[in-house]
């Protein structure tokens, strides 16, 4: 089998060239690997082979332009991946299933296609988030059936879950805090470790463990972050009821204690996105399936729903029926066009049901929002264009650029700006603007 050395370029493949897989593929190419990407979408394969980034992700366009045809090429043929080196990263979707666990249908299809075309020993590195127990319970037996081989006798399996966030994928792959590697055999884990040592430009903690431990670790990390976010949101709710209390003063101070840390520790909107809500449900489902209590995790879900309802209540209280509300920021986090379970996506239907009209603005996500809400809303390309139509606005997205643009807006009529993240400097706002931050008592 090939090993990474200073003198050879290791050939490997990445199956699934989506939001994560494409970023991983070009990062591997950037760090000297010879990467073959595989996706079932021929249009996507054609675009990336021409060096064109199919969506916005910071740094992706540059790396793709540099490596398409030079260290990275793509195909729709899984058999080519089985023959291109002897290690394949699999990063296909694993959407939520009805019971709160994850559907294996995409990963089963990809692994079957790969396993049926094996000619030499192969290491499958599953990188998609899987429901704990899925690899040994379902995916390894599937590879054994499709390949006619036995685990560790012709193929090995590792689990290397990704902890990167959309909007920060390239940096997240190149400079992770942590790499978790679940391994079917120590030699397989060592090979994956050597790939990550070459991929990462920093020196992350590399944690090697059993497959099941890695599966639980992945879901646990995301669940823990949502617990931290929910604590900050609970604190923000409390501060709103205590004149003089400021959630940011408190989280910044106590976040300096290393037992807490300042990251993901700011009162704001409810969490959303493609992973956090799904992984919280998965943790709850996992605990229920094993008869373990998970009171804490169930509370995270309730706190998050409350935070969303609270924002809607504040916006409704700040506006009269028939009013036009500006929703600034549609994505679930800044730097991405993805709107899955974003604060805006959950807020807008409540506003519409309560007879408010909505004008939405987002630099990257308007097309996705339009696809979801159609002509129920109006859409503004620019922030001033959006706010000029409104009597109230809400900054659902945390972004310095966005806050600066809002601070420069000169309204013709009074405007209330609801600021869940406290991004606006009230001293910079036009006198016709009433600033309504969450996380502080309004009288403070
Ligand atoms: N998006 C995130 O923020 C994030 C973060 C961490 C982990 N993850 C996990 O990473 C995995 C991938 O997520 P994503 O956001 O990149 O998904 P995505 O939907 O953006 O992309 C998935 C890609 O896989 C392709 N695909 C589907 N079936 C295939 C097959 N049989 N063979 C080859 N290609 C196939 C699709 O065409 C698509 O291009 C998921 O398990 C997800 O939970 C996502």
Nearest Cα residue to atom 31 of ligand 1:
110
> Is residue 167 domain-shared with residue 296, that is, in the same domain?
no
Per-residue confidence (pLDDT) for residue 2, from 0 to 100: 37
Token pair of 173 as six digits:
């792959």
Residues in the chain: 444
Instruction: Please state, in angstroms and rounded to a whole number, the distance separating the CA atoms of residues 186 and 198.
Output: 19
Residue appearing with tokens 């009288």: 443
Span 304-325, mean pLDDT?
Answer: 98
Span 362-375, mean pLDDT?
Answer: 97
Residue 418 has pLDDT above 50, yes or no: yes
Domain boundary among 203, 234, 260: 203
Q: Are 110 and 16 in contact (CB under 8 A)?
A: yes
The Å distance, Cα 131 to ligand 1 centre, comes to: 15
Nearest Cα residue to atom 7 of ligand 1:
162
Residue 30 has pLDDT above 50, yes or no: yes
132 or 99: which carries more pLDDT confidence?
Answer: 132
Per-residue confidence (pLDDT) for residue 98, from 0 to 100: 79
Out of 55, 80, 84, 91, mutate this one to test ligand 1's pocket (max ligand atoms within 8 Å of CB): namely 91
The answer to whether residue 6 sits within a structural domain is no
Greatest CA separation for the chain: 74
**Residue 92 in contact with ligand 1 by CB distance below 6 A:** yes
The answer to whether residue 405 sits within a structural domain is yes
Contacts of 30 (CB under 8 A, 6+ apart): 63, 66, 67, 71, 174
Domain boundary among 150, 173, 203: 203
Instruction: Please state, in angstroms and rounded to a whole number, the distance separating the CA atoms of residues 182 and 189.
Output: 7
**Residue 94 CA: which ligand 1 atom is closest?**
41
| Count of domains forming the chain | 2
The answer to whether residue 72 sits within a structural domain is yes
Span 382-409, mean pLDDT?
Answer: 96
Domain membership of residue 320 as a residue range: 216-444
DSSP state of 132: T
């Amino acid at each position: 089998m090939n090993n990474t050395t200073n003198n050879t370029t290791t050939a490997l493949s990445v199956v699934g060239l989506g939001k994560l897989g494409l970023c991983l593929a070009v990062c591997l190419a950037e760090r000297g690997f010879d990467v073959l990407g595989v996706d079932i979408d021929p249009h996507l394969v054609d675009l990336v082979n021409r060096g064109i980034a199919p969506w916005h992700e910071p740094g992706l366009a540059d790396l793709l332009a540099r490596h398409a045809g030079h260290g990275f090429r793509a195909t729709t043929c899984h058999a080519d991946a089985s023959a291109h080196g002897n290690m394949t990263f699999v990063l296909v979707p694993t959407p939520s299933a009805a019971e709160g666990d994850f559907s294996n249908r995409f990963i089963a299809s990809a692994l079957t296609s790969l396993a049926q075309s094996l000619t030499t020993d192969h290491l499958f590195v599953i990188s998609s988030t899987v429901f704990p127990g899925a690899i040994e319970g379902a995916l390894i037996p599937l590879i054994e059936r499709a390949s006619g081989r036995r685990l560790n006798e012709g193929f090995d399996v590792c689990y290397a879950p990704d902890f990167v966030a959309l909007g920060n994928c390239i940096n997240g792959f190149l400079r992770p805090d942590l790499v978790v590697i679940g391994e079917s055999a120590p030699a397989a884990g060592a090979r994956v470790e050597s790939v990550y040592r070459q991929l990462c430009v920093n020196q992350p903690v590399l944690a090697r463990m059993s497959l099941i431990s890695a599966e639980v670790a992945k879901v646990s990390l995301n669940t823990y972050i949502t617990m931290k976010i929910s604590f900050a949101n609970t604190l923000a709710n409390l501060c709103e009821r205590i004149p003089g209390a400021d959630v940011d003063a408190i989280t910044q101070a106590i976040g300096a204690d290393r037992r807490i840390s300042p990251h993901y520790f700011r009162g704001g909107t409810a969490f959303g996105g493609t992973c956090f809500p799904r992984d919280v449900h998965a943790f709850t489902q996992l605990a229920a399936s094993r008869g373990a209590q998970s009171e804490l995790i169930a509370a995270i879900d309730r706190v998050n729903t409350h935070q969303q309802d609270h924002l809607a209540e504040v916006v409704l209280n700040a506006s009269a029926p028939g009013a036009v509300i500006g929703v600034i920021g549609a994505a679930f986090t800044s730097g991405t066009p993805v709107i899955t379970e974003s604060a805006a996506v959950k807020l807008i239907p409540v506003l519409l049901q309560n007879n408010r009209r909505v004008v939405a603005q987002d630099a990257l996500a308007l097309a996705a929002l339009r696809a979801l809400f159609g002509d129920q809303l109006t859409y503004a390309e620019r922030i001033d264009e959006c706010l000029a139509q409104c009597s109230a606005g809400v900054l659902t997205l945390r972004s310095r650029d966005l806050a600066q643009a809002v601070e420069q807006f000169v309204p013709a009529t009074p405007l209330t700006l609801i600021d869940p993240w406290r991004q606006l400097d009230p001293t910079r706002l036009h006198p016709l603007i009433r600033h309504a931050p969450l996380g502080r008592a309004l009288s403070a």
